[in-house]
Amino acid sequence: CSYKYLNGGPGAVGGLFVHERYADNTDLPRLAGWWGNNETTRFAMEHQFEPTFGADGWQLSNAQVLQMAVLRASLETFMEAGIDRIAAKRDELTGFAEQVISNAIGTRSWIRIITPATRSDRGAQLSILFERNGKEVYEALIARGIVVDWRTPNVIRLAPAPLYTSFADVAFFGSTFAEILESMK
């Protein structure tokens, strides 16, 4: 999911981790792309795929240059910010988001956060389960310019990305979320 985790956007280059214990097993089923074919016979255009050993044997084709440029810029941003700082801000932002959501929910028993409460058991995403009015809340958030994700039948997901989401953004979300819930009495 480089579109999501590396900020590459929709259509970004995908990747696959190949564990070393499987990398040289040429009998495993795979998508057989010409770039993964043994380089000594690659351009012979044989009918039989002959995988190269190692993770290289799992490649499909040339990476798209423009998509790789987007990922390079993103990775440079990650390197500059530092993964430890990004992870720390992720935890703080997600904890703050959990707090503002809980405050907005208050005593409403028809809404609850279903993401694990323990920080080590979650990433930057929070999922809110609605017994009713979920789609209306989602549409109201979108109409106010807040980008969240709807999952049928009744879940709103949000993920305060630490590289470009501020605490003010999360506070704005919380106050807007509370206003929307208040309007649904």
Per-residue tokens: 81: 């910010």
Across the chain, what does the average pLDDT equal?
92
Q: Which domains does the chain have, with CATH numbers?
A: 2-81 (no CATH), 83-182 (3.90.1150.10)
Res. 137: pLDDT tops 90:
yes
3-state secondary structure 56-93: HHHCCCCCCHHHHHHHHHHHHHHHHHCHHHHHHHHHHH
Return the minimum-mean-pLDDT range out of 39-53, 102-116, 166-180: 39-53
Per-residue tokens: 69: 């440029």
pTM: 0.77
- d(C-alpha 87, C-alpha 5), whole Å: 12
- d(C-alpha 85, C-alpha 37), whole Å: 40
Place of tokens 């809404």: 111
Residue 132, pLDDT score: 95
Backbone angles phi, psi at 3, to 5 degrees: -60, -35
Average pLDDT over residues 138-159: 97
* pLDDT, tens only, 1-21: 777 778 877 888 888 889 999
